[in-house]
Amino acid sequence: MSDAVLVEEDGGVLVITINRPEAKNAINGDVAKGVGAALDLLDSRKDLAVGIITGAGGTFCSGMDLKGFLTGELPFTPERGFAGIVQKPPATPLIAAVEGYALAGGCEIALSADMIVASSAAKFGLPEPKRGLVAAAGGLMRLPKRIPFHIAMEMALTGDFYGTEQLAAFGLINRIAEPGKALETAKELAAKIAENAPLALAATKKIIVESAEWSTAEMWDKQGEISNPIFGSKDAQEGPRAFAEKRKPNWSGE
């Protein structure tokens, strides 16, 4: 993994940091490969229950590296798409910790996460039309599912920036942090999640994400395909046992 992406483990939480502060954490090929590799690691480890993606130097991500784009550099991976995430987010729950700007592809990375913790001073936006481009990294598809349709349409068509407080009112933000405290606040949320069983967390996320496409006739069977194996896991025995013995469970991820 290159220096463009830093990875740190913290008690069942994997913190992934886009590390190009001199370029406002713009996404180039190295970042895409690094994020993709970090998400592969997150999904492969039974002892990692949740991930956090953030940016170095007081900003989240300004989007695609336009200078790199003009020279033909490809800021995506074959497996996960733009930034190594937007077409295939991790199976493991993921929190975006946003300071400063989450613009264009940076906003789309945040929308690829399952939860967003943002500084009260953060700004979000899809300014691609101002540059003759289209927000084709998932923003136009995900945003109308997260906030009211007309607000999403305005945000996408104007290309203007929107503040944390405004977007929190529409339900897009899980926690608002003081400036400089987004990662700390995201870690607090991640720690609460990481207390739970990793297999159950991944199955819960999968059901929530995929059930949007299920018909009424198939939804119970589809849910059962995902949830039934969890009830036969070692962790499903450990949880009730720990409760009965009044102790914290020791999850094995099995």
Task: Tell me the per-residue pLDDT of 176-194, one tens digit each, with 9 for 90 and over.
Answer: 999 999 999 999 999 999 9
- What CATH number should be reported for the domain holding residue 100? 3.90.226.10
Residue 112 belongs to a domain: yes
Residue 250 belongs to a domain: no
User: Is pLDDT above 90 for 66?
Assistant: no
Number of domains in the chain: 2
Q: N- to C-terminal Cα distance for the chain?
A: 28
Mean pLDDT of 100-119: 98
Burial letters 116-151, b for 16+ CB under 10 A, else e: bbbbebbbbbbbbeeeebebebbbbebbbeebeeeb
155: left (phi over 0), alpha (psi -120 to 50) or beta: alpha
Say how far apart CA 23 and CA 127 lie, in whole Å: 17
Percent of the chain with pLDDT over 70: 100
Chain mean pLDDT for the chain:
95
User: Is pLDDT above 80 for 223?
Assistant: yes
Predicted confidence at residue 73, as pLDDT, reads 83
| Domain extent for 88 | 5-194
Task: Kindly state whether residues 102 and 124 are assigned to the same domain.
Answer: yes
Residue 253 belongs to a domain: no
Question: What confidence tier does 108 reach under pLDDT thresholds 50, 70, 90?
Answer: very high
Closest by CA position to 16, among listed 56, 76, 46: 56
Give, to the nearest 10 degrees, the angle between helix 139-146 and helix 105-112: 50
Task: Kindly state whether residues 135 and 123 are assigned to the same domain.
Answer: yes
State the pTM of this model. Answer: 0.94
User: Is pLDDT above 90 for 114?
Assistant: yes
User: Is pLDDT above 80 for 233?
Assistant: yes
Catalytic residue among 108, 154, 195, 225: 108
Say how far apart CA 46 and CA 51 lie, in whole Å: 13
Question: What confidence tier does 72 reach under pLDDT thresholds 50, 70, 90?
Answer: confident
Task: Kindly state whether residues 90 and 208 are assigned to the same domain.
Answer: no
Q: Domain end: 152, 179, 194, which one?
A: 194
Question: 6: burial class by Cβ within 10 Å (0-12, 13-18, 19+)?
Answer: middle
Task: Kindly state whether residues 68 and 162 are assigned to the same domain.
Answer: yes
Residue 172 belongs to a domain: yes
Predicted confidence at residue 219, as pLDDT, reads 97
Task: Tell me the per-residue pLDDT of 239-252, one tens digit each, with 9 for 90 and over.
Answer: 999 999 999 999 98
Task: Kindly state whether residues 157 and 212 are assigned to the same domain.
Answer: no
Quick check: is 73 catalytic? no
Quick check: is 128 catalytic? yes
Predicted confidence at residue 69, as pLDDT, reads 77
Predicted confidence at residue 1, as pLDDT, reads 55
Catalytic residue among 8, 99, 128, 238: 128
Mean pLDDT of 62-79: 88
Task: Kindly state whether residues 95 and 159 are assigned to the same domain.
Answer: yes
User: Is pLDDT above 80 for 2?
Assistant: no
Maximum distance among all Cα pairs of the chain, rounded to whole angstroms: 62
Residue 162 belongs to a domain: yes
Task: Kindly state whether residues 151 and 29 are assigned to the same domain.
Answer: yes
| Three-state secondary structure of the chain | CCCCEEEEECCCEEEEEECCHHHCCCECHHHHHHHHHHHHHHHHCCCCCEEEEEECCCCCECCECHHHHHCCCCCEECCCEECCCCCCCCCCCEEEEECCEEECHHHHHHHHCCEEEEECCCEEECCHHHHCCCCCCCHHHHHHHHCCHHHHHHHHHHCCEEEHHHHHHCCCCCEEECCCCHHHHHHHHHHHHHCCCHHHHHHHHHHHHHHHHCCCCCHHHHHHHHHHHHHCCHHHHHHHHHHHCCCCCCCCCC
Say how far apart CA 144 and CA 100 lie, in whole Å: 23
Residue 39 belongs to a domain: yes
